Amino acid sequence: MIWQVEFWLLIVLVALALIALHVRDLLAAVVVLSAYSFVMALLFVAMGAVDVAFTEATLGAGVSGVLFVVALFSMNRRSED
Protein backbone atom coordinates (compact mmCIF):
# COMPACT_ATOMS: atom_id res chain seq x y z
CA MET A 1 0.00 0.00 0.00
CA ILE A 2 1.09 3.59 -0.45
CA TRP A 3 3.16 4.73 2.50
CA GLN A 4 1.27 8.04 2.71
CA VAL A 5 -1.98 6.19 3.42
CA GLU A 6 -0.31 4.13 6.13
CA PHE A 7 1.18 7.31 7.61
CA TRP A 8 -2.21 9.05 7.80
CA LEU A 9 -3.83 5.94 9.27
CA LEU A 10 -1.15 5.96 11.96
CA ILE A 11 -1.77 9.65 12.67
CA VAL A 12 -5.51 8.97 12.98
CA LEU A 13 -4.74 6.02 15.26
CA VAL A 14 -2.67 8.17 17.63
CA ALA A 15 -5.32 10.90 17.58
CA LEU A 16 -8.06 8.42 18.46
CA ALA A 17 -5.97 7.07 21.33
CA LEU A 18 -5.48 10.57 22.73
CA ILE A 19 -9.16 11.39 22.32
CA ALA A 20 -10.12 8.18 24.15
CA LEU A 21 -7.90 9.21 27.05
CA HIS A 22 -9.33 12.72 27.33
CA VAL A 23 -13.05 12.19 26.73
CA ARG A 24 -15.25 12.41 29.85
CA ASP A 25 -18.36 10.55 28.72
CA LEU A 26 -18.02 6.78 28.94
CA LEU A 27 -20.28 6.11 25.97
CA ALA A 28 -18.21 8.44 23.81
CA ALA A 29 -15.08 6.62 24.98
CA VAL A 30 -16.57 3.31 23.83
CA VAL A 31 -17.31 4.77 20.40
CA VAL A 32 -13.79 6.18 20.09
CA LEU A 33 -12.24 2.87 21.15
CA SER A 34 -14.34 1.03 18.55
CA ALA A 35 -13.11 3.49 15.91
CA TYR A 36 -9.56 2.89 17.15
CA SER A 37 -10.01 -0.83 16.68
CA PHE A 38 -11.38 -0.33 13.17
CA VAL A 39 -8.42 1.84 12.16
CA MET A 40 -6.09 -0.75 13.65
CA ALA A 41 -7.78 -3.37 11.46
CA LEU A 42 -7.18 -1.14 8.42
CA LEU A 43 -3.49 -0.96 9.33
CA PHE A 44 -3.34 -4.75 9.62
CA VAL A 45 -4.83 -5.01 6.13
CA ALA A 46 -2.23 -2.55 4.87
CA MET A 47 0.51 -4.78 6.33
CA GLY A 48 -0.97 -7.83 4.61
CA ALA A 49 -2.30 -9.63 7.69
CA VAL A 50 -5.90 -10.01 6.55
CA ASP A 51 -6.74 -12.76 9.05
CA VAL A 52 -5.54 -10.65 11.98
CA ALA A 53 -7.44 -7.65 10.60
CA PHE A 54 -10.65 -9.67 10.37
CA THR A 55 -10.25 -10.84 13.96
CA GLU A 56 -9.51 -7.30 15.14
CA ALA A 57 -12.55 -5.93 13.34
CA THR A 58 -14.96 -8.54 14.66
CA LEU A 59 -13.70 -8.78 18.21
CA GLY A 60 -12.27 -5.32 18.77
CA ALA A 61 -14.80 -3.11 17.06
CA GLY A 62 -17.81 -5.41 17.13
CA VAL A 63 -18.09 -7.69 20.11
CA SER A 64 -16.19 -5.68 22.73
CA GLY A 65 -17.94 -2.46 21.70
CA VAL A 66 -21.34 -4.08 22.15
CA LEU A 67 -20.30 -5.58 25.49
CA PHE A 68 -19.06 -2.18 26.72
CA VAL A 69 -22.34 -0.50 25.72
CA VAL A 70 -24.40 -3.23 27.43
CA ALA A 71 -22.27 -2.85 30.57
CA LEU A 72 -22.74 0.93 30.53
CA PHE A 73 -26.50 0.71 30.23
CA SER A 74 -26.82 -1.95 32.92
CA MET A 75 -24.88 -0.05 35.60
CA ASN A 76 -25.94 2.95 37.63
CA ARG A 77 -24.20 5.94 36.09
CA ARG A 78 -25.28 8.46 38.74
CA SER A 79 -24.22 8.51 42.36
CA GLU A 80 -26.67 8.53 45.27
CA ASP A 81 -25.12 11.71 46.77
Closest residue by Cα to residue 10 from 33, 49, 48, 36: 36
Residue 35's pLDDT band (boundaries 50, 70, 90)? very high
Q: Which of 4-13, 38-47, 71-80 has the lowest mean pLDDT?
A: 71-80
pLDDT of residue 11: 96
- What does the pLDDT look like over 15-27, one tens digit per residue? 999 999 998 888 8
Residue 1 pLDDT: 61
Q: Give the closest residue to 40 by CA, choosing from 2, 19, 1, 9.
A: 9
pTM for the predicted model, two decimal places? 0.83
Q: From the centroid of its chain, how far is CA 40?
A: 8
